[in-house]
């Protein structure tokens, strides 16, 4: 494998010294880029794009050609795992992801098999190895998965949900069924992320998009517990380097201390949390990633720069900060504003790294 030319993202996650604060953007390969829209049209649909290693590689690299980003992230979808478990993923125009079959009963959950990532998810592994090769050591490659709780919400509800009524009914009325599902998903995600690492991912991230929908005690029992299980089972060294793992619970500001105890290297922060407060609460236990409101990219460029300066000042001196948005970049964001954001992070952060 090519020697890594820019490793500041990996170094920051491990709280090692860096020259400037590294930056990447959630959903950086996506619909806000005209070249992405062209490649997706070429693929035919979203899942066809995910399943074609060369096209998935192309859209992963597109933002790196435009912006001085410090990491690439695998182009894929969190729902590849439930799809590989046989639920039949499809995308309804204007409706988002749907499943042909639900995992909404003990019998349905017992029938689910944990997929072999090199077989049922081989197309993802091919994309990882292709991207890693084509990056030529310029920046590290991030692999990822959804959290068990987040994947379970889609599997029980049959798709996206605003109220999570069906999974919450299962959680309180049939907790044994939900625990069985979450346990299978934790096993599946551990295998999936380890296979991504074996195929070239140099860091991994677990997206707990819907953890914030849970009560204080339910979060620990039904979400964090299973992310902890994954962290415990991950490969933590490859190519002679540590493989950092980041946990991100959207709406998870209540649980930063508990998340920091999981053994992860970093916590992703959404935009509702003050980064200075987050750093005070977790101390030096973990690095922090975040956390500008993605909608800030609609602002005039001087206002974006002001916000970058404020977040950098909030984190303060020293390593352990990976700058990012507090969630995915909007499809309506102006690429010129994204570029100004990335450049501002590098230029303004130098003074915090002596």
Q: What are the residues facing 2 on neighbouring strands?
A: none
pTM beyond 0.85, yes or no: yes
Residues annotated in a binding site: 27-31, 77, 154, 209, 327
Per-residue pLDDT band for 167 (boundaries 50, 70, 90) equals very high
Report the pLDDT averaged over residues 138-155.
Answer: 98
Cα–Cα dist 175/192, whole Å: 25
Domain assignment present for residue 109? The answer is yes
SS3 content of the chain, % helix, strand, coil (to 5): 50, 15, 35
Specify if 278 maps to a domain: yes
For range 148-158, the mean pLDDT: 98
β-strand partners of 247? 206, 267
Kindly tell me if the per-residue pLDDT of 2 is higher than 80.
Answer: no
Average pLDDT over residues 134-142: 98
Helix (H, G, I), strand (E, B) or coil at 97: strand
Q: How many domains does the chain have?
A: 1
Record the tokens describing residue 322, joined without a space.
């990976």
- What are the tens digits of pLDDT across the range 79-107? 999 999 999 998 877 778 999 999 999 99
Per-residue pLDDT at 138 exceeds 70 = yes
Q: 243-274: per-residue pLDDT in tens?
A: 999 999 999 999 999 999 999 999 999 999 99
pLDDT reported for residue 1: 61
**Collapsed DSSP state (helix, strand, coil) of residue 133:** helix
Mark whether 219 is an active-site residue. Answer: no
For residue 176, being part of any structural domain is answered with: yes
Give the whole-angstrom CA distance, residue 46 versus residue 275.
34
Q: How far apart are CA 257 and CA 6, in angstroms?
A: 30
2 located within any domain: no
The radius of gyration computed from the CA coordinates of the chain, to the nearest angstrom, equals: 19
Which residue's structure tokens are 């002679």?
240
Which candidate in 9, 32, 36, 154 is catalytic?
A: 154
User: What is residue 354's predicted lDDT score, i.e. its pLDDT?
Assistant: 86
Tell me: pLDDT of 114 over 70. yes
The answer to whether residue 303 is catalytic is no
Report H helices in the chain: 8-13, 34-43, 46-51, 53-66, 80-82, 106-110, 122-135, 148-157, 165-173, 175-198, 216-219, 225-233, 256-260, 275-282, 301-315, 335-349
For the stretch 202-246, pLDDT in tens is 999 999 999 999 999 999 999 999 999 999 999 999 999 999 999
Q: Hunting for tokens 């991994």 — which residue is that?
A: 204
Whether 128 is in a domain gets the answer yes
Among 77, 116, 274, 293, which one carries the catalytic annotation?
Answer: 77
8 A C-beta contact, residue 137 and residue 1: yes
Mark whether 31 is an active-site residue.
yes
Domain around 294? 8-352
For residue 322, how many other CB atoms are within 10 A of its CB? 28
Q: Which of 204, 168, 175, 189 is nearest to 85 (CA)?
A: 189
For residue 262, what is the domain's CATH number? 3.20.20.210
Decide if 77 is catalytic: yes
User: Catalytic: which of 7, 8, 9, 27?
Assistant: 27
> pLDDT band at 337, cuts 50/70/90?
very high
Would you say 152 and 182 are in contact if contact means Cβ atoms under 8 Å apart?
yes
Is 11 considered catalytic here?
no
Annotated binding site for substrate: 27-31, 77, 154, 209, 327
Are 121 and 80 a contacting pair, CB within 8 Å? yes
Average pLDDT score over residue span 270-284: 97
Query: What pLDDT shows up at residue 304?
Result: 98
Contacts for 310 with CB less than 8 Å, ≥ 6 apart = none
């Amino acid at each position: 494998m090519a020697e890594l030319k820019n490793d500041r993202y990996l170094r920051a996650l491990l709280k090692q010294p860096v020259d400037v604060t590294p930056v990447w953007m959630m959903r950086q390969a996506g619909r806000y880029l005209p070249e992405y829209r062209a490649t997706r049209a070429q693929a035919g649909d979203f899942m066809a794009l995910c399943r074609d290693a060369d096209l998935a590689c192309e859209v992963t690299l597109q933002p790196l050609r435009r912006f001085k980003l410090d990491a690439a992230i695998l182009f894929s979808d969190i729902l590849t795992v439930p799809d590989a478990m046989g639920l039949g993923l499809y995308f309804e125009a204007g409706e988002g992801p749907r499943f042909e079959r639900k995992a909404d009963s003990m019998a349905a959950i017992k029938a689910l098999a944990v997929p072999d990532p090199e077989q049922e998810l081989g197309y993802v592994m091919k994309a990882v190895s292709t991207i890693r090769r084509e990056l030529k050591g310029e920046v590290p490659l991030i692999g990822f998965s959804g959290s068990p709780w987040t994947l379970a919400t889609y599997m029980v509800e049959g798709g996206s949900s605003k109220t999570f009524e069906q999974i919450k009914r299962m959680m309180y009325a049939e907790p044994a069924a939900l625990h069985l599902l979450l346990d299978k998903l934790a096993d599946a995600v551990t295998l999936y992320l380890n296979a991504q690492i074996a195929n070239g991912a140099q860091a991994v991230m677990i997206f707990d998009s819907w953890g914030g929908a849970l009560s204080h005690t339910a979060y620990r029992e039904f979400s964090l517990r299973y992310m902890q299980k994954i962290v415990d089972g991950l490969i933590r060294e490859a190519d002679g380097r540590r493989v950092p793992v980041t946990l991100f619970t959207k709406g998870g500001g209540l649980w930063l201390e508990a998340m920091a105890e999981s053994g992860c290297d970093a916590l992703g922060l959404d935009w509702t949390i003050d980064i200075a407060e987050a750093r005070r609460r977790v101390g030096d236990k973990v690095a922090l990633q975040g956390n500008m409101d993605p909608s800030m990219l609609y602002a005039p460029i001087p206002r974006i720069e002001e916000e970058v300066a404020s977040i950098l000042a909030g984190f303060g001196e020293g390593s352990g900060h990976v700058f990012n948005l507090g969630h995915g970049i909007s499809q309506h964001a102006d690429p010129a504003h994204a570029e100004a954001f990335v450049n501002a992070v590098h230029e303004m952060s130098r003074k915090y790294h002596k």
